[in-house]
Amino acid sequence: MKLKTILLAILLAANSVFAATATEPANSNSSLSGKPYSNPANLDTSLPDLGDSSQTVLTPQDEQRIGEQIMRDVAVSDEVVQDIEVIDYLNTLGNRLVAASPDKEQKFNFFVVQDNSINAFAVPGGVIGVHTGLILATNSESELASVLGHEIGHVTQHHMARMLAQQKNDIFKDIGGIALALLAARANPGLASGALATASAASVQRQLDYTREHEREADRVGLSILDAAGFDVRAMPAFFTSLQQGTRFTEGTAPSFLRTHPLTSERIADMANRVEKMPYKQVQDSLDFQLIRTKLRASNGLAQDAIDLFQNNIKEHRFANETAEHYGLAVAMLRKNDLTGATNQIQWLRKNAPKNAIIESLSARIEVVRNNPQAAASQYAKALALFPNHRALIYGYSEHFLAINQPDNAIKLVQDKQALYPNDAYFYDILAKAYTAKNKNLLRFQAQGESYFRQYNLQKAIEQMEFATKAKDGNFYEHSIVEARLKELHRLQENEKLADKRLS
């Protein structure tokens, strides 16, 4: 079994800190804006000395390679949320926390898994996944930030490599059974219990003991990050408490591995004691946090059920943020193809809500669905003038140009914005479609190759670039660029092969 596969299994076992069935607590307020706070003098940030033997098992380059492999799967997974507004929100929040983390060199990628369970996990290479159920379960933006801070702590402390270093003698023979049990638990808890019974009890317990130390360390690092980034530190023990109280599992019924997972009263008490010594900060939620959570709610289940829920909430004034509730109603109505109703909600938002790119994007989308290209173009142009860096607007406007057969305008728009998002694969997909419409084969293959490269699929990137070198069109300068890029990709491929040998 490849080590990267084993690593993913270990991470599912060791870092699924928040595994529970999603419920939706009442909302409260907390902000994506605000100045960072320095660590208070009375915050004890001392951490246990877990040693540095991790570097003998995984080098930083190995961790990066594993992270890239996982991101390649993420790019094509049906279980991963592809909504760019959800992705951008989570990465904006995550990167704010990363900026306050102890490791300024580590790069991070955040993604969202379409799953109602309350869960988040960290993997080597700075890859952090968050389930939609977790986002919906948080009561405030600070609570969501506390989970991300905790997971950032797992990455910056290299917990995965440390686990391998301590357990390299027996982890390989036992982790397969543990991973199978955890996967089975999602569908059949009884089957998972049986699978776990076949694993070595002593080895499992050693892993659990080490993981508990990781969790305490990630808590303390995460708390420091949360405070430095300007969030409410009390959100961490508050959310841990709500998870402990809201878990669906009761003593004696959960699979033993999950039942002994280290979300303990001791951890909660430790965090509560620490934050009591820190100054109180009242932190308001950002509007984007409220809108993204509401968008996820509006996109789940039957559209009519969501419509009924939002309408009842508005009627009974049962909401934390009225703007978000009307926005969610508009999203649900658009799903139901009730364009009149969705437009009415947009009009309410224009009168009562502050200007926001997420709302403007929805307004333009309604015009696209209405098949009113002139109104859609006008809305996109106005919205981009206000929010020139909002990717959903850039995507929508460029797609609009392709739909009305204006590939030159799509190319210009994307090229004007690419410097902002140099690693955006979809920008290159749009360029590939635009060049196809213009019968420019070399540029089409080149753009598609760059898209695959940014999806961490080096083999397909090379294939597309080879097609580009054989294209009959294109000038000398364009062919020279493609040939040089192809050589670079071949060099990277050789480096990958060498890295795979290390991870075999």
Q: Three-state DSSP class for 201?
A: helix
pLDDT of residue 392: 97
The pTM score is 0.81
Neighbours of 309 (CB within 10 A): 18
- DSSP code per residue over 175-187: HHHHHHHHHHHHH
Q: What is the DSSP letter of 391?
A: H
Which of 166, 247, 255 has the alpha carbon at shortest distance from 209?
166
Report the chain's mean pLDDT, rounded to a whole number.
79
Q: What is the distance between the alpha carbons of residues 151 and 464, in angstroms, rounded to a whole number?
A: 36
Kind and range of the H or E run holding 3:
helix 3-14
- Tell me how long the chain is: 504
What pLDDT sits at residue 478?
Answer: 97
- Read off the tokens for 150: 């905790």
Segment 397-403 shows an average pLDDT of 97
CA 345 to chain centre: 29
- Mean pLDDT score, 410-433: 97
Between CA 321 and CA 148 the distance in angstroms is 23
What pLDDT is stored for residue 345 in this prediction? 98
For residue range 126-148, what is the model confidence (pLDDT) as tens digits? 888 888 989 999 999 999 999 99
Angle between helices 441-454 and 476-502 (to 10 degrees): 20
Average pLDDT for residues 70-81, to the nearest whole number?
A: 80
- 218-246: pLDDT as tens digits: 889 999 999 999 999 999 998 888 877 75
Among 443, 440, 441, CA closest to 428: 443
Read off the pLDDT of residues 306-340 as tens digits, 9 standing for 90 and up. Answer: 999 999 999 999 999 999 999 999 999 999 999 99
What pLDDT does residue 363 have? 98
Round to the nearest angstrom and report the end-to-end CA distance of the chain: 8
Reference 165, options 394, 7, 337, 321; nearest CA is: 7
Residue with tokens 């009113």, as numbered in its chain = 372
Residue linked to tokens 């910056």: 156
Specify the pLDDT at position 113.
87
Q: CA dist 266 to 134, 226, 237, 259, 403, Å?
A: 22, 20, 11, 15, 57
% of the chain at pLDDT higher than 90: 53
Structural class in CATH, domain 405-504:
mainly alpha
Question: For residue 117, what are the β-bridge partners?
Answer: 21
Give the per-residue pLDDT at 497.
83
- Evaluate whether 441 touches 472 at the Cβ level (below 8 Å): yes
**Looking at residue 165, what is its pLDDT?**
55
Q: Which of 124-128, 195-199, 287-291, 371-375 has the lowest mean pLDDT?
A: 195-199
What token pair was written down for 471?
């294209």
33: confidence class by pLDDT, cuts 50, 70, 90 = very low
| Beta strands per DSSP E along 40-187 | 109-113, 120-123, 127-131
CB 160 within 8 A of CB 245: no
3-state class of 401 per DSSP?
Answer: helix
Q: In what order do the strands lie in the sheet with 109-113?
A: 109-113, 127-131, 120-123
Q: Taking a C-beta distance cutoff of 8 angstroms, is the pair 240, 218 a contact?
A: no
Report domain extents, the chain.
Answer: 3-276, 286-354, 405-504
Mean per-residue pLDDT, 367-376 = 95
Q: Per residue in 261-311, pLDDT tens?
A: 356 778 888 889 999 988 888 899 999 999 999 999 999 999 999 999 999
Q: In the predicted model, is pLDDT for residue 382 greater than 90?
A: yes
Burial 327-364 (b: 16+ CB within 10 A, else e): bbbbbbbbbeebbebbbebbebbeeebeebbbbbbbbb
Q: Give the model's pLDDT for residue 162.
A: 66
**Which pLDDT score is estimated for 254?**
33
Cα–Cα distance, 366 to 145 (Å, whole number)? 32
